[in-house]
Amino acid sequence: MAICTIIGTVRSISGANLSGATLKFERATLTGQDGSVVTRSAVRVTTDAQGRVSVDLYSGIYRLTVIPAGQGELSGQRGITTITVPDTASADLSDLMEQTPALTPTAVTEVRALRDECRALYDAWVAAGGADGADGASAYEVAVAAGFVGTEAEWLASLVGPQGEAGADGADGASAYEVAVAAGFVGTEAEWLASLVGPQGAAGADGADGASAYEVAVAAGFVGTEAEWLASLVGPQGEAGADGADGADGQSVTILTYTDEAAYNAAVTANAANPLVLVVRYASA
């Protein structure tokens, strides 16, 4: 199923270009790549100031409605016809319109009279409080009725085409410094970075003193003086701990006394490495 670009100029019966007109192309159903039938909403385009229009449509049969500028779809004058979009790259709207019988002024008058009669019947039905119609079938139900076999999840999955190829990476964008230079900044990148730093702000005023621990306690419900609050922080006397183990018995010290200097010196030398021997020398009488 190819896409065809429809181009052309929309004119009234008198030959005047219809600027700002809405063209509605309606196709009830179309077939997906897997053969399933899916619904397609109407395609709407608006003519430019010269009445020209361009729209891309799948090939197939469409109902074309032309709604003049300023008119709604249920009011005003409209032109309705059927066109066949060819399986080509492009087509002229006038060629497609020539496929349908020409609308003579008499035919237009008859169609308008029929339109007015239908509108009057519709207005009478609305005024009489007509009942709501039955809910229409869902897109999945329409697909099943057209031959699709499978669950709703499988039908939804069938609507998803294959993953497209990844696009090429785009070019790297300019850095913030390069953007600044392009905007008129003159200087090195270091100078630009330095220009981003504003002057030192003034020192802020000192904050109010915070509440003391005692004031916090009072705010939390403590009743009493600060001395009483301090006393409340001291817990009761703990129980006495168990006695420690007895220490090891000490060693006795041997005291050696001498009056003779030579004997004293000899004793000091002999016991220099023994901490349990004390050598004492007394002067002779």
**What is the domain partition of the chain in residue ranges?**
3-127, 254-285
The enclosing H or E element of 3 equals: strand 3-9
pLDDT computed for residue 104 by the predictor: 53
What dotted CATH number matches 3-127?
A: 2.60.40.1120
Mean pLDDT taken over the chain: 83
Q: Where are the alpha helices (DSSP H) in the chain?
A: 93-97, 105-127, 139-145, 152-158, 176-182, 189-195, 213-219, 226-232, 261-270
Is 2's pLDDT higher than 70? yes
Q: What is the pLDDT of residues 179-202, one digit of tens each?
A: 988 998 889 999 989 899 888 888
* Across 47-51, 70-74, 105-109, 216-220, least confident range: 105-109
The CA angle 199-203-205, to the nearest 5 degrees, is: 150
Mean pLDDT of the 33-50 span: 75
pLDDT band at 30 (very low <50, low <70, confident <90, very high): low
Mapped onto helix, strand or coil, the DSSP state of residue 88 is coil
Q: How confident is the model at residue 216 (pLDDT cuts 50, 70, 90)?
A: very high
- pLDDT tens for each residue of 57-94: 888 888 888 888 887 665 545 667 888 889 999 999 98
Q: How confident is the model at residue 15 (pLDDT cuts 50, 70, 90)?
A: confident
Whether pLDDT at 99 is above 60:
no
**SS3 per-residue string spanning 152-193:** HHHHHHHCCCCCCCCCCCCCCCCCHHHHHHHCCCCCCHHHHH
The pLDDT-based confidence of 161 (bands split at 50, 70, 90) is: confident
Q: How far is CA 111 from CA 64, 96, 107, 238, in A?
A: 16, 21, 6, 110
Number of Cβ within 10 Å of residue 64's Cβ equals 19
Sign of the torsion angle spanned by Cα atoms 72, 75, 78, 80: positive
Q: Are 11 and 47 in contact (CB under 8 A)?
A: no
The three-class DSSP label of residue 143 is helix
**137 has pLDDT over 80:** yes
**Residue of 122 and 101 predicted with greater confidence:** 122
